[in-house]
Chains A and B, each alone.
Chain A
Amino acid sequence: MHESARSLKVAAWLGWQIESNWTEPFLFLTYSILKPVASALILVFMYLVISQGNFNNPLFAYIYVGNAFFIYVGAVLLGVSNTIVDDREHYGMLKYIYVSPIQVYFYLLGRGMAKTMTATIAVVITLAFGAIALGVRPDFFTIDWPLLIITLTVGLAGLGFMGILLAGILLITARHNDIVGEAVAGALYLLCGAVFPISVMPDWLQWAGRAIPITYWLEGLRRALLGTELVQKLHTGLEDFSTPTILLILLGSTLLAILLSIGFYRWCERRAKEKGLIDMQTMY
């Protein structure tokens, strides 16, 4: 097996062992179900208060679906990037990982896969809860499955590589910087139209939102699930873009993000080797 495939496979196995073994299986399952449902409910109650109980507004489905898929953002970004801090400072293993013939990008992506899997469970549970309890019912037969699969895959790949970019930052900074991932995820929650259309933001923030691939990813996923016509009618700030254009922008920006991430991580790795940071222990 090639080094890249090996790195991905073994890292995914390791990530899953760490992710799933921290507690008893029953507790793990309960946590995996309750956490996303509780998060969704917070949003639902906020919406209830503001809209005075109007679940029929299509904007509710728009918000709910976006919020459900946003679960991936934090999970993948942190799953990939925090590998550096975990391996280096918590387990003290990064130097041994680095001395072995792994392909580091695939290793990091592999470590993020376990979080992606648990996030998938959370997304499915959230969507199922929405369908059963809240009436967010995308018509199974009208879902644009090819669009959904392509958008989801491209977006997850992009998120993985954005995680690598953050991993680069963590490689050259001390352990307290693991908040960088959370800060970035928080900023993206604001800018990418996860819970509200970007059209409600000031112009300059809308432009910031339009510069981020995740904005197009969420738009594509919503169109795939809820239908392009319905989403475009909501005047979300991206209604002028056709679905193929959304997909094209997503593909292009993801490719750019991948190239940027690889280049930036390579630069950070060199800095880390110059400064002797691969096996740094910040001890606090």
Chain B
Amino acid sequence: MSHSWAIETENLVRIYKVKHKRGDAESAPFKALDGVNSQVGTGELFGLLGPNGAGKTTLIKILTTLLLPTSGTARVDGVDVAANPQEVRRRINMVSGGDTCGYGLLTVEENLWMFTQFYGLDNKTARERIGKMLEIVGLQDKAKSKSYQLSTGQKQKMNFARGFLNDPKILFLDEPTLGLDVQTSRVLRKFVKQWVRERPGRTLLLTTHYMAEADELCDRVAIINQGKILACDTPANLKKRLQGASVFKLHVTPLEQTELFSDLPGVSNFSGHRRNGHTELNFILDDENTLVKILSAVQQSGAHLISLDKHEPTLEDVFIDLVGKSLSEIEEQTGSVS
């Protein structure tokens, strides 16, 4: 393996043994990562895009030394995460979105100060960074509040601020905007982008199941599903995969049988699922004329067209093209909450 990559994995496999019930000797192994090979360059803002349960968090846990791989190797800044975890920890930090953790009896400032001390920051630098991060996440007025007094969103912001305190060489953000309001998410996304751009040599790995977030932020995106990386490129290049194809989104009145659309000639890929009381149909067509057949099939099925939209390919369309289902369809099927 070369040492020039900030993050590098080779044939990374992680199998969980899931016990079905107490005392049950039979356990069903679940392959969360299935031979993942990936390289993230120094200075890159790299996105890992996939539905819940795709293996994103498992990969981050391995890279941040919280979990051992079943087989394969992972290196962070050239250091093997399994063999030398302490050396890895000196170079990284991690934020899990949706976390509302913290020592409730400590103030926001104290919670953050404690971590600056674990990272060996001197008091002056620590205070400066805490002040700056609190300003960025909009918690200056809560600095002296005990963290148990914070709302869920405020706790998430505090956790987000904690991740940047040591100015890590490599930062892992696992769904950082999960559950945050639109305005806050926008501010944090802007900061994340700025943080990487202003600090040459800093690398950021972001996992998300928000397509727009990956598209907006990432230099490169890896699409992951069922523990496998299906494609990895810049968002623009990924979308180029669909160059020449026509992408349509149809909303129709509730439709039970959607399978008939996949068999229509000219349909390259298709996904359909219920959303807000109607059915959403996404088509990637080799030939735009196929649309006539689709509309005819909708009519024959007894459903009514509500809206029809032709658009430029998005990462979501790329995902459909690769997986054969939309991300939200997969999450509905697996019972995951988006």
Mutual binders A and B: yes
Residues of chain A having any CB pair with chain B under 8 Å: 1, 3, 6-7, 9-10, 13-14, 17-18, 21-22, 91-93, 95-102, 270, 273-274, 276, 278-279
Closest A-chain residue to B155, C-beta based?
Answer: A92
Partner of A101, one of B66, B110, B119: B119
Partner of B118, one of A17, A101, A273: A101
Task: Give chain B interface residues in 72-118, CB to chain A under 8 Å.
Answer: 86, 89-90, 92-94, 96, 99-106, 110, 114-115, 117-118
Partner of A100, one of B16, B89, B101, B106: B89
- Alpha-carbon gap, A274 to B65, bound state (A): 11
Chain B residues with Cβ under 8 A from A100's Cβ? 89, 93, 115, 118-119, 166
Given contacts A10-B117, A274-B68, 4 further A-B contacts (CB under 8 A): A7-B118, A10-B114, A273-B67, A276-B61
Closest A-chain residue to B159, C-beta based?
Answer: A96
B64 on the interface (CB 8 Å rule)? yes
Closest B-chain residue to A18, C-beta based?
Answer: B105
Partner of A93, one of B93, B101, B166: B101
Expressed in whole angstroms, the minimum distance between the Cβ of A262 and any Cβ of chain B is 15
Asked whether A22 lies within 8 Å of B61 as measured between CB atoms, the reply is no
Asked whether B101 lies within 8 Å of A273 as measured between CB atoms, the reply is no
Partner of A276, one of B16, B92, B105, B114: B16
- Alpha-carbon gap, A10 to B65, bound state (A): 22
B120 on the interface (CB 8 Å rule)? yes
Closest A-chain residue to B163, C-beta based?
Answer: A96
Chain A residues with Cβ under 8 A from B162's Cβ? 96
- Alpha-carbon gap, A7 to B114, bound state (A): 10
Chain A residues with Cβ under 8 A from B99's Cβ? 92
- Alpha-carbon gap, A206 to B112, bound state (A): 50
A-B pair count, CB < 8 Å, reads 78
Expressed in whole angstroms, the minimum distance between the Cβ of B95 and any Cβ of chain A is 9
- Alpha-carbon gap, A226 to B293, bound state (A): 99
Asked whether B89 lies within 8 Å of A99 as measured between CB atoms, the reply is yes
Asked whether B92 lies within 8 Å of A99 as measured between CB atoms, the reply is yes
Chain B residues with Cβ under 8 A from A13's Cβ? 114
Asked whether A95 lies within 8 Å of B66 as measured between CB atoms, the reply is yes
Asked whether B66 lies within 8 Å of A91 as measured between CB atoms, the reply is no
Asked whether B16 lies within 8 Å of A96 as measured between CB atoms, the reply is no
Chain A residues with Cβ under 8 A from B117's Cβ? 6, 9-10
Chain B residues with Cβ under 8 A from A92's Cβ? 99-102
Expressed in whole angstroms, the minimum distance between the Cβ of A7 and any Cβ of chain B is 7
Asked whether A99 lies within 8 Å of B65 as measured between CB atoms, the reply is yes
Q: Given that A99-B65, A270-B68 are known contacts, is A21 also in contact with B119, CB under 8 Å in the complex? A: no
Residue from A9, A17, A93, A100 having most chain B Cβ neighbours under 10 A:
A100
Asked whether A96 lies within 8 Å of B68 as measured between CB atoms, the reply is no
Partner of A6, one of B93, B105, B118: B118
Expressed in whole angstroms, the minimum distance between the Cβ of B174 and any Cβ of chain A is 11
Closest A-chain residue to B117, C-beta based?
Answer: A10
- Alpha-carbon gap, A272 to B165, bound state (A): 27
Query: What are 7 A-B residue pairs whose CB atoms fall within 8 Å in the complex?
Result: A17-B105, A21-B105, A96-B101, A100-B115, A100-B118, A101-B89, A276-B66
Asked whether B103 lies within 8 Å of A279 as measured between CB atoms, the reply is no
Expressed in whole angstroms, the minimum distance between the Cβ of A242 and any Cβ of chain B is 44
Chain A residues with Cβ under 8 A from B104's Cβ? 91
Closest B-chain residue to A10, C-beta based?
Answer: B117
Chain B residues with Cβ under 8 A from A14's Cβ? 103, 106, 114
Expressed in whole angstroms, the minimum distance between the Cβ of A162 and any Cβ of chain B is 24
Closest A-chain residue to B62, C-beta based?
Answer: A273
Chain B residues with Cβ under 8 A from A99's Cβ? 64-66, 89, 92-94
Asked whether A273 lies within 8 Å of B103 as measured between CB atoms, the reply is no
Task: Give chain B interface residues in 31-81, CB to chain A under 8 Å.
Answer: 61, 64-68
Chain B residues with Cβ under 8 A from A97's Cβ? 118
Chain A residues with Cβ under 8 A from B166's Cβ? 100
- Alpha-carbon gap, A96 to B60, bound state (A): 13
- Alpha-carbon gap, A274 to B62, bound state (A): 10
Asked whether B94 lies within 8 Å of A96 as measured between CB atoms, the reply is yes
Asked whether A101 lies within 8 Å of B86 as measured between CB atoms, the reply is yes
Closest B-chain residue to A278, C-beta based?
Answer: B66
Chain A residues with Cβ under 8 A from B66's Cβ? 95, 98-99, 273, 276, 278-279
Closest A-chain residue to B96, C-beta based?
Answer: A95
Expressed in whole angstroms, the minimum distance between the Cβ of B227 and any Cβ of chain A is 14
Q: Given that A273-B67, A279-B66 are known contacts, is A102 also in contact with B118, CB under 8 Å in the complex? A: yes
Asked whether B120 lies within 8 Å of A1 as measured between CB atoms, the reply is yes
Asked whether B16 lies within 8 Å of A93 as measured between CB atoms, the reply is no
5 nearest CB pairs, A to B: A92-B101, A100-B118, A101-B89, A21-B105, A10-B117
Closest B-chain residue to A100, C-beta based?
Answer: B118
Chain A residues with Cβ under 8 A from B101's Cβ? 91-93, 96
